[in-house]
Amino acid sequence: MTILVTGATGNVGSNVVEQLVKRGADVRALVRDPSKASFAASVQVVQGDLLDVDSLRGAMKGVSTLFLLNGVVADEFTQALIALNVAREAGIERIVYLSVIHSDIYVNVPHFAGKFGVERMIEQMGLSATILRPAYYMDNEITIKDVITGYGIYPMPIGDKGLAMIDARDVGEIAAIELIRRERSATPLPLNRINLVGPDTLTGASAAAIWSDVLGRTIAYPGDDTAGFEQNMRQFMPGWMAFDMRLMAERFITDGMLPEVGDVDRLTALLGRPLRSYRDYVAQIAG
């Protein structure tokens, strides 16, 4: 049978596809632009959009398991609900949904609240799914590397509560493991949730200290200026999204993004190896 991966050309989605192929799965990748798809020859690429019901119906024909990933866009919530309803219509009973950690706590942050709404639909409709709840991605640091190296500051206002940052490669591998587990089960498995966290809990100061060690010079953490952060983000994204990111940063500061007891051990056992560390990731991109 076939596993359909949405968001397949993105950072997480491409890792999911790669890990599924390594495990011998029959993979179909849903993409908006096939010219951006660079997968193994065995992967079936289908063009479609999560708001195009006809293309979704075609993409889900013959699919047994769905990996649902939505990007942070204005209509993310609608996209997810449509995709899940079409999957239900198609008789797909094995689902892995990529949500976000603390979606039930960051209730004023639009893309968190939307994902929590999707989780509620999955639960209330009785869908057989794994809900993956990743913390902040280490991979976001690539977007601020030039600021760090050029200006000597760590500019993300992440506060002092701590974020359990995770590498997207670990997210992709765990997602693939869960997809295969559901795909190979004789019957649909019950709903479960998995927090996806890294081995380290980083504050603004500790992240800056790691960059300082790796680069061999002082990187400062200037503090928690979320208003300035929003203004900087507006140079690269729409105003609504920059405000969404500011609201998220404010919850970083007030609540943090912390693992629950046992999360790291559970993921380490699932992967059969240690989770990738923030220091190793910084060393990789700094080089």
In a domain, 151, yes or no: no
pLDDT for 1 equals 80
For a pLDDT cut of 90, what percent of the chain falls above it? 97
Instruction: For residue range 109-140, list pLDDT tens digits in order.
Output: 999 999 999 999 999 999 999 999 999 999 99
Instruction: For residue range 205-228, list pLDDT tens digits in order.
Output: 999 999 999 999 999 999 999 999
pLDDT for 31 equals 95
What's 175-235 look like in SS3? HHHHHHHHHHCCCCCCCEEEEECCCCCECHHHHHHHHHHHHCCCCECCCCCHHHHHHHHCC
In a domain, 65, yes or no: yes
pLDDT for 56 equals 97
In a domain, 243, yes or no: no
In a domain, 225, yes or no: no
pTM: 0.96
pLDDT for 193 equals 98
Instruction: For residue range 144-155, list pLDDT tens digits in order.
Output: 999 999 999 999
In a domain, 237, yes or no: no
CATH number, domain containing residue 87:
3.40.50.720
Range of the domain at 268: 2-135+168-196+261-276
Tokens of 108: 């004023």
pLDDT for 163 equals 98
**Mean pLDDT confidence for 170-190:** 97
Q: Work out the angle at residue 264's Cα, subtended by the Cα atoms of residues 262 and 266, and round it to the nearest 5 degrees.
A: 65
Instruction: For residue range 247-269, list pLDDT tens digits in order.
Output: 999 999 999 999 999 999 999 99
pLDDT for 287 equals 84
Give the whole-angstrom CA distance, residue 44 versus residue 69.
18
In a domain, 100, yes or no: yes
In a domain, 76, yes or no: yes
Instruction: For residue range 27-62, list pLDDT tens digits in order.
Output: 999 999 998 889 999 999 999 999 999 999 999 999
Q: How many domains in the chain? A: 1
pLDDT for 274 equals 98
In a domain, 184, yes or no: yes
